[in-house]
């Protein structure tokens, strides 16, 4: 199984990207690094690339949709979420995940189509072809002694509820 390049995109032009090479089990294979995407590109060679996008830019939802929706799921999900979204559904990208068993709830990640296009253009300009993407907050493990975790101690990524006592 191939190693991974975990690549955190910059939030704004002029900011640096951050990346970490991990083995197939997810263990770091070196220290985290910062720099322009062009410096991360050689690290992507022969590795699967997972792009970590800012969690504040991606909405996670689980709308109720018919279990047997099949191919119509891509049409049903935006309509099921429309009243909960501030933007027009035509301006958004809906990534639908796999349901758990026979659940009527479909996991969905929603992002502005223009922002997704910007991220992809940034990656392609840097010579990087992503295999998958996820929100930065999804990569944090709960740290028992803390209620939050950070990427390189510079940005709070995820707030966790206090552990039960």
Look at residue 161 and tell me whether its pLDDT is greater than 60: no
34-48, 62-76, 93-107 — which one is most confidently predicted on average? 34-48
| Domain-wise residue ranges, the chain | 4-55+116-159, 57-111
Q: Are 128 and 49 in contact (CB under 8 A)?
A: yes
69-78, 95-104, 108-117 — which one is most confidently predicted on average? 108-117
> What CATH number labels 4-55+116-159?
3.30.420.380
H/E element holding 123?
helix 113-125
- Find the range with the poorest average confidence among 35-39, 78-82, 99-103, 155-159: 155-159
Give the confidence band of 1 by pLDDT, cuts at 50, 70, 90.
Answer: low
- Nearest partner of 80 among 46, 69, 135, 119, judged by Cα: 69
Give the confidence band of 49 by pLDDT, cuts at 50, 70, 90.
Answer: very high
Predicted TM-score (pTM) of the model is 0.77
Arithmetic mean of pLDDT, 35-59 = 91
Look at residue 157 and tell me whether its pLDDT is greater than 80: no
CA count, 13 A, side-chain hemisphere, 55: 13
Residue 79, CA distances (Å) to 36, 56, 105 in order: 38, 22, 14
């Amino acid at each position: 199984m191939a190693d991974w390049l975990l690549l955190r995109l910059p939030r704004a032009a002029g900011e640096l990207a951050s990346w970490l090479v991990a083995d197939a089990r997810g263990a770091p294979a070196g220290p985290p690094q910062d720099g322009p995407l062009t410096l991360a590109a050689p690290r992507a060679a022969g590795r699967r690339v997972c792009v970590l996008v800012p969690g504040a830019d991606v909405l996670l939802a689980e709308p109720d949709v018919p279990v047997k929706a099949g191919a119509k799921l891509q049409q049903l999900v935006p309509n099921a979420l429309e009243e909960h979204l501030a933007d027009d559904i035509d301006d958004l990208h809906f990534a639908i995940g796999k349901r758990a068993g026979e659940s009527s709830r479909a996991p969905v990640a929603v992002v502005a189509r223009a922002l997704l296009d910007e991220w992809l253009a940034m990656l392609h300009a840097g010579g990087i072809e992503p295999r998958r993407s996820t929100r930065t907050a999804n990569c944090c493990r709960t740290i028992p002694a803390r209620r939050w975790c950070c990427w390189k101690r510079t940005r709070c990524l995820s707030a966790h509820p206090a552990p039960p006592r």
